A and B are shown apart, each in its own frame.
Chain A
Amino acid sequence: MNNQIFKRLSYVVALMAFFAVSTQAQSPVDPNREKAIDSLALEKVKDLGKYIAIIGNKDTPFSEANRVMDRAEELFAPGSEMGVSSLASEEIKYYKVREYFQRLMALNYDKVNIEWYDVQYISDLERQPDGRYVGVVTVYQKFEGTTADKLNYKDTTKKDITIYVEKKKTQIAGRTIEFWDVILGDIRVSETSV
């Protein structure tokens, strides 16, 4: 866990150093900055992936799963939802992020394996009317669940994850430093045919 905190801190510090020269509060994201923001966004998406795997794992103790759910929830903007559809039903069902995690934890399998394909796509960042930037990161997750009587369920889902990018300010040694922060938003989960 200390390693994780250190890794995150170094990301934030690196981004702060990168953007410290910025003077315009609402300046557009230039391509180099966008790359750094993409890395931070991917880092958060990877964290979410790890959390989902831990929450879904049947060997994870209840208290640990709840603690991880808290950490996972912190990645999201308040009110974020998961919109879920399957191959059987194109209708989107909507869940609050916490509810989605709780449903994942309560799945009726004896063994659950969650993996992520090594394919991700990051959209451009687009500016919203409020000046914040928004983008979408697409990742693919493979789920395998086995019941006590050895019945196997498999699916691959596409996850389109909203990322909000906001310029923030902090005081370090009396100097105001600006940095970009990334927070996750709504996620569209759709089952794929692969």
Chain B
Amino acid sequence: MKRLILLSLSFFFVFTSYSSAQIVGENYEIEQQLLASTKQLNQFFKRFNGEEDVKGRTFEPDDRQYRNERLRKRYLSILFDEEDTDISSQAKNDFIERVTQADNPAFLNLHSKDWFAVVNTTFLYKGKELPLLLYMKIQKEALGYEWVIADVAFEPYKTMFDKQRGETKVFLHPMSHELDFMNLRKALLKGGVPESYTLADYKPDFLTIFLYEVKMGILQFQTVNRMNYHFFGVDGWYFSLNNFNRANDNSGWLISDLLQVNASQKEDLLKMIYEKK
């Protein structure tokens, strides 16, 4: 059905575009797939918002097709992964109805604070190649915008600062001040547990540790493996995008997770994505 919609939309543009006259023979099928594929995140945004035609040409805001509700519904229906995920058609329809609601439509915006990227990378750390997640956000800076690292998740950091609590933990005894804290010498040793001598609510800042270790050359960037994007910008909903490299129309950047979430579920979900305890 979706393919039919896309094909029927495509035919209109194929016959009105001079450049498409060159599409012939065996390339035709592939070019239709490439046309259908959501090739960039930019295109996902534009299709979600109903801001471009099927050939990827941007509508002017005064074009009657611009953000047209019917067009958006058609586009939105093809923006879901159809093969690897189990998003129910009920959830999909509810979501489409919500974002195209006539009196309160929802649109996506690159500059919004309600979405972020999780980039799966590999770093060389103490002689081993290890995975490291970078949480990236877009922010305004000077004359434009930039992507920045908002947080990191790295397995060796997760337990490095786990401090013991209670009677068995090591500590600086409560009269240490009378000795000019001379016992610090025994507490702060290489390979020791210096986190034991911190406040009860101490929380390590992994991003600062990461930046320090990159600067010192302890962590060395190797490569980016893959990435996905998480969106919380539609009230009451969460969805994520993944890139699907497939030889059919259902390819490119597509919604791979869709959930209806309340405020507390949103917090839990964020903790899970950020791999926080």
Decide whether A and B are members of one complex. Answer: yes
Taking a contact as CB atoms under 8 Å apart, the answer to whether A118 and B245 are in contact is no
Taking a contact as CB atoms under 8 Å apart, the answer to whether A131 and B251 are in contact is no
Taking a contact as CB atoms under 8 Å apart, the answer to whether A118 and B143 are in contact is no
Taking a contact as CB atoms under 8 Å apart, the answer to whether A119 and B144 are in contact is no
Instruction: Give A134's nearest chain B residue, CB to CB.
Output: B144
Taking a contact as CB atoms under 8 Å apart, the answer to whether B110 and A31 are in contact is no
Taking a contact as CB atoms under 8 Å apart, the answer to whether B224 and A119 are in contact is no
Known A90-B226, A92-B223, A128-B144; contact A138-B40, beta-carbon cutoff 8 A: yes
A123 at the interface (CB under 8 A from B): yes
Smallest CB–CB gap between B11 and chain A, Å? 15
Taking a contact as CB atoms under 8 Å apart, the answer to whether B146 and A129 are in contact is yes
Smallest CB–CB gap between A76 and chain B, Å? 20
Interface residues in B13-53 (C-beta closer than 8 Å to A): 19-20, 22-23, 27, 30-31, 33-35, 39-40, 42-43
Contact with B along A137-156 (1 / 0, CB 8 A): 01010100000000000001
Taking a contact as CB atoms under 8 Å apart, the answer to whether A122 and B34 are in contact is no
A194 at the interface (CB under 8 A from B): yes
Interface residues in B219-277 (C-beta closer than 8 Å to A): 223-226, 245-247, 251
Checking A83, A126, A158 against B145 with a beta-carbon cut-off of 8 angstroms, the contacting residue is A126
Instruction: State the CA gap A119–B247 with chains docked (Å).
Output: 15
Instruction: Give B19's nearest chain A residue, CB to CB.
Output: A118
Instruction: State the CA gap A69–B44 with chains docked (Å).
Output: 35
A8 at the interface (CB under 8 A from B): no
A4 at the interface (CB under 8 A from B): no
Residues of A near B34 (CB, < 8 A) are: 117, 119, 140, 192, 194
Smallest CB–CB gap between A44 and chain B, Å? 17
Taking a contact as CB atoms under 8 Å apart, the answer to whether A126 and B110 are in contact is yes
Instruction: State the CA gap A131–B145 with chains docked (Å).
Output: 9
Taking a contact as CB atoms under 8 Å apart, the answer to whether B30 and A193 are in contact is no
Instruction: State the CA gap A187–B34 with chains docked (Å).
Output: 19
Smallest CB–CB gap between A96 and chain B, Å? 16
Instruction: State the CA gap A131–B23 with chains docked (Å).
Output: 39
Taking a contact as CB atoms under 8 Å apart, the answer to whether B56 and A122 are in contact is yes
Which 6 pairs between the two chains have the least Cβ-Cβ distance? A127-B144, A123-B42, A129-B142, A131-B143, A129-B141, A119-B34
Using A129-B141, A129-B143 as known contacts, list a sample of 19 further A-B pairs with CB atoms less than 8 Å apart, ordered by residue number in A: A91-B122, A91-B225, A93-B223, A94-B223, A118-B20, A118-B31, A119-B31, A119-B35, A121-B56, A123-B40, A123-B43, A124-B58, A128-B143, A129-B145, A131-B144, A138-B39, A190-B245, A193-B247, A194-B34
A selection of 25 A-B contacts at a CB cut-off of 8 Å is A31-B58, A83-B224, A87-B245, A92-B223, A92-B224, A117-B27, A117-B31, A118-B19, A118-B20, A118-B27, A118-B31, A120-B56, A122-B56, A123-B42, A124-B42, A124-B58, A128-B146, A130-B142, A130-B143, A130-B144, A131-B142, A131-B144, A140-B34, A160-B40, A194-B247
Query: A residues bordering B, Cβ < 8 Å?
Result: 26, 31, 83, 87, 90-94, 117-124, 126-131, 136, 138, 140, 142, 156, 158, 160, 190, 192-194
